[in-house]
Structure 1
Amino acid sequence: MKFLKTCCFLLLSYCSLAQNADNAFKKPLKEVIAQIETRFKVKIRYPEDLVKDKWVTYADWRFRPDFEKTMTNVLSSQDITFAKEAEKKYKLQPYQYHLKTPEEGEQQLTYLSTLYNDEASWEKRKDELQACMWKALKLSPLPAKPTSKVITNNKRIMNGYTVENVAIETISGVYVCGSLYMPLESKGKIPVILNPDGHFGDGRYRADCQYRCAMQARMGAIAFSYDLFAWGESTLQFKSENHRKSLAQTMQTLNSIRILDWLLSFSNADASRVGITGGSGGGSQTMLITALDDRITLSVPVVMLSSYHSGGCPCESGMGVHLCGNGTNNVEIASMAAPRPQLILSDGKDWTQHVPETEFPFLQKVYGFYGKTDEVKNVHFPEEGHDYGKSKRLALYDFLAKKFQLDVKKLKDKTGVMDESKVTVEPFSAMYVFGEKGENLPKSAVKDFETLEKVFAEAIKN
């Protein structure tokens, strides 16, 4: 008994010492950063709120001779990462949950490749991912569709096409606004193409978006461009910071579904030729909507396909769709388009820089399960950056013309290149559905994010 009491005493003493040691080596994060700056002769900048009231346990034990290893050891428990800005200059930022290293992305693709080796095993994986994604987005089942009439106004006649302003109520009191581009003349059934907006300045009003959609219409397709959630005219209902709420991903998905419902109700819409294309955040939507909605028959994600980047905004990854199937990524999500035609547009100055040698071969393998490797293409622009510039648009036009059997000869110049000069780039105000100051927004419209959360919760309950 005496021996047992001695053991207990020693154990309690050890625990007490461990606790005391923990307290002895515990330091404010701000103080530890100052130590790092002095020891490694670097400068580290950070927003005060990022480090305020944060402490590092066993702080001095985390130091290593190597600067980066020391930073990783110190910041690993703080949900903070660091990035180099210049020689000996660094910045701290919140943990980038959507980012892996290129090496980690490649390793994940190697692992995913072990999960399927033929069409049957891939289809099983695809079904698993699809069901999980719908559930993660809280869209299984879909909420009831509002019975309100789609709002259209200010139809303009241009050279070979028309433009009309449109607002669609996606759930009670919540609208998605966009521009409908139609061929001025057409015969029979014609293709439908969704153009979700991305995180580019000026949103869907910018010139490159107008060029792209007008050219689609001049080629003989119905084209529709539309706002991100809490961007463009959506800011009449929600603050711009609400765009970085996780529910934005769900709303953007629902917007695309409602828009496609409407477009396919047109008497001249060809349900066998339905495309979607967007750049950056619009590229994220392109891959996700194609993976979820079998009505999409062709997709062109632009400057977004990456094994190590899942989108830098909660509107792209906030609902956890990338956690489905014990972990997935945008490459596997893009592969869910197979065997439908898909064009990947990538460049050399963002996270799509490794597409030709890393991501594209993975897609080819999945398309190969169907014997359809010719249906997936990659056009890479190694000297270009993150945009939906003219060279990328020209690649899109060629792909659409081939896959949707569009006669585009009359749209080419004497050298055989697509000519965008006949497109009218309109001022922003011409494209507003609800007026320059939102004066025509319906009185029943939701006016804040908190109300949206309540409306959405009620919608999915019924």
Structure 2
Amino acid sequence: MTEAAVEFDRRAAVVRHLNQHFPAPQFESREEWEARARELRAHILASAGLSPMPERCPLDPIVTGEIEGDDYVIRRVAIQTLPGFYLGGNLYLPKGKQGPFPGIANPHGHWKTGRIEHQERGSIPARCITFARMGCVAFAYDMIGYNDTRQLPHTFGGDREALWGISLGGLQLWNSIRALDYLESLPMVDPERLACTGASGGGTQTFLLSAVDDRVKVAAPVNMISLHMQGGCLCENPPNLRVECTNVEIGALMAPRPLLLVAATGDWTRNTLEEEFPAIQAVYRLMGAEEKVHALRFDAPHNYNLQSREAVYAWMGRWLLGINDPDQLKEQPIDLPDPKVLLTFPDGQLPEGAADQEGITRYLVERSEKQLAAHWPRDQETARQFRETYLPLLSHSLGVAAPAPELVTATPAGGSTRAQRLILGRKGAGDRVPARLHRSRRQKGSAPGVLLVTPEGIRAADGPGITSRLVGQLSREDRHVLLIDTFLTGGSKAPETREKEISEIKYFTTYNRTDIGNRVQDILTALAFLRAQEGVSRVQVVGVGEAGLWAVLACALDGRVDAAAIDLAGFEMTDDHFLEKLNVPFLRRAGDLVTAAALCAPRRLSFWRVHPFFPMGKVFDAYAASGKPGAVQFTSMALDAEAVQAWLGL
């Protein structure tokens, strides 16, 4: 960034991206890491659309044939990971050995032929045959869009799907979870000795699975974890995933279970021994498990070649089989004249009832809706459970949190005693939120503080219209009134280079909050500031126009707003309207504005300019469950200053 960047809000001036060189994370104590780990695991699942965790349908494994070697058997298989959605793969079994055996999941990277790739730089069949010869069951399975798993393309997903938490990366993580389910279901597999390894994109699948599923007891992501490059494919970049983290932190979530990092001099892992490994090793040290993490670097291009594979065999042998002599685990030649014999559906004919792309997408949307309905508050106990589940989801979707008062900064920027100008922010975050505080004329005692949020920002109070009438009405009632320019509104500006920078990078929302998320954060920051002011008895919110949508989201997350008047501006609650006005990844998966309204119960909430199709009945039900059915109201009328004042004054 240029020197001029310091004049701007850091969120507008700094655009994060996958090829950025990120600093190594540092943690001072085990307690600090464990708190971060809990939050990060929840964030990964939310970003993948897997929170709440979906029900698992029957796997209904299909076996279409076997290939027998002298000391191994390969089955051509497919499992059903969603109703009508099949994951193709190969199951490699030991022959002539007595089980139960460890089970190893083998996701593949972006090899041209996927799980059947068999060449010098990488061979999935050679790796899995060797695992079988070692006395392990290995399951090699497709990435979406490869080989037998072509019901969806490897380009699947867009903004509409993202609203519902549906993404290529999320589905692949789900497939990996179901791959473990499959291994665990096999009578010859020891469910206490499951492992995972893959290279490149398969390395990404390995560390994501290991991060969220503690059934993985040993992991070996190869040629992937880096502070220099986070993953170049759509399947590695679910929206929101790396807004405030990197693959190093995600990889460290394996601690204290055994983890091997294999690096290469010829790709983005070239600095592993100097940068990424020490950062992960430090986490293992905090966990008292430093001996369970190791890293190796080979002089080679991007690969999962023989040298890398044999390092992994030694690691798996040590932790899964108790074999400490690597020479016992060397790869032997294999006889595989044509890898295409490994295909489960060589003619492309899928099982009867296989769903198409539209059907799979529809199922996933309906699944989200059914989960939300099942969690919806019916009484005070289910209301508590609903809050525990969906409040974090809403926070992860937007990438925001209410700041502690001591983290809020307020820098004077002129004005008068009664109308003070300020720049609000959060310590260390680089936020710059222009604000104007109109203090109550009351000389003694305290008065309510009202945060007034508009799409135009502070300047809306200086012209004709509802905002200036609201400021006048509220001031006459001796209320403190705070106006702000939320992110990129009013006086909040971005560098001229921002749009160009965004256009030149991939997967913006994987690494950066949306503008909506930043605006909701600014409202939360302003609420924390206003609440801490001397003479403010309680805090209330008024959201005007489109800003009403941001305000209700913030009210849900703040949890302490006494009352709010929210202009819904005729919002239609359709995907098209969300894409136009509230395009936030997995916001609809989190229950969107309806969940936000329900989370506000039992606090007083008044909605204005409500579209006829807004699900008012669900919000009434949530308020009834909270014991305050009369604390919410809806009207199709436009905001009225006197009526708003009356509502806030109750």
Return the TM-score normalized by structure 2: 0.51
1:379 alignment counterpart: 296
Are 2:330 and 1:418 equivalent residues in the alignment? yes
Q: Distance in 2 between matches of 1:179 and 1:408?
A: 28
Alignment-mate amino acid for residue 239 of structure 1 = P
Q: How far did 1:313 drift?
A: 1.1
Are 2:367 and 1:451 equivalent residues in the alignment? no
Q: Distance in 2 between matches of 1:171 and 1:117?
A: 42
Q: CA contact under 8 A between 2:207 and 2:219: conserved in structure 1?
A: yes
Q: Distance in 2 between matches of 1:391 and 1:359?
A: 21
Aligned to 2:220, the other structure's residue is in SS state: strand
Q: Distance in 2 between matches of 1:119 and 1:203?
A: 39
Alignment-mate amino acid for residue 241 of structure 1 = T
Q: Distance in 1 between matches of 2:236 and 2:154?
A: 16
Q: CA contact under 8 A between 2:59 and 2:81: conserved in structure 1?
A: no
Are 2:242 and 1:322 equivalent residues in the alignment? yes
Are 2:62 and 1:151 equivalent residues in the alignment? yes
Are 2:77 and 1:160 equivalent residues in the alignment? no
Q: After TM superposition, what 4+ stretches of structure 1 lie above 3 angstroms from structure 2?
A: 243-246, 406-409
CA-to-aligned-CA distance 1:129-158 (integer Å, 9 cap, x gap): 111211111111222222352111211211
Matches within 5 A, 1:190-209: 190-207=101-118, 208-209=123-124
2:233 alignment counterpart: 313
Q: CA contact under 8 A between 1:249 and 1:319: conserved in structure 2?
A: no
Q: 1:178 to 1:406 in 2, by over 3 A?
A: farther
Q: Distance in 2 between matches of 1:96 and 1:426?
A: 46
Alignment-mate amino acid for residue 400 of structure 1 = M
1:46 alignment counterpart: none
Matches within 5 A, 1:236-247: 237-242=151-156, 247=167
Q: CA contact under 8 A between 1:278 and 1:301: conserved in structure 2?
A: yes
CA-to-aligned-CA distance 1:180-238 (integer Å, 9 cap, x gap): 00100222421110000111221111111100001001000010001111122222x23
Are 2:89 and 1:178 equivalent residues in the alignment? yes
Aligned to 2:156, the other structure's residue is in SS state: helix
Q: Distance in 1 between matches of 2:42 and 2:59?
A: 29
1:229 alignment counterpart: 144
1:62 alignment counterpart: none
Q: Distance in 1 between matches of 2:282 and 2:269?
A: 19
Tell me which of 215, 220, 228 is aligned to 2:130: 215
Q: CA contact under 8 A between 1:165 and 1:431: conserved in structure 2?
A: yes
Q: Distance in 2 between matches of 1:408 and 1:157?
A: 29
Q: Distance in 2 between matches of 1:241 and 1:122?
A: 35
Alignment-mate amino acid for residue 306 of structure 2 = K
Aligned to 1:214, the other structure's residue is in SS state: helix
Matches within 5 A, 1:243-262: 247-262=167-182
Q: How far did 1:452 drift?
A: 2.2
Count how many residue pairs are aligned between Structure 1 and Structure 2.
Answer: 350
CA-to-aligned-CA distance 1:362-412 (integer Å, 9 cap, x gap): 01100001221111000111x211010110001011111111125598x96
Q: 1:196 to 1:155 in 2, by over 3 A?
A: same
Alignment-mate amino acid for residue 445 of structure 1 = A
Unaligned runs of 5+ in 2: 6-11, 371-650
Q: 1:375 to 1:210 in 2, by over 3 A?
A: same
Q: 1:130 to 1:240 in 2, by over 3 A?
A: closer
Matches within 5 A, 1:89-100: 97-100=17-20
Aligned to 2:187, the other structure's residue is in SS state: coil
1:304 alignment counterpart: 224
Q: 1:294 to 1:363 in 2, by over 3 A?
A: same
Q: 1:445 to 1:408 in 2, by over 3 A?
A: farther
Q: CA contact under 8 A between 1:219 and 1:406: conserved in structure 2?
A: no
Q: 1:390 to 1:120 in 2, by over 3 A?
A: same
Q: Distance in 2 between matches of 1:373 and 1:147?
A: 39
2:30 alignment counterpart: 119
Greater alpha carbon shift after TM alignment, 280-289 vs 226-235:
226-235
Q: 1:140 to 1:417 in 2, by over 3 A?
A: closer
2:280 alignment counterpart: 363
Q: Distance in 1 between matches of 2:332 and 2:284?
A: 33
Q: Distance in 1 between matches of 2:106 and 2:157?
A: 18
Q: Distance in 2 between matches of 1:388 and 1:419?
A: 13
Return the TM-score normalized by structure 1: 0.71
Q: How far did 1:321 drift?
A: 1.7
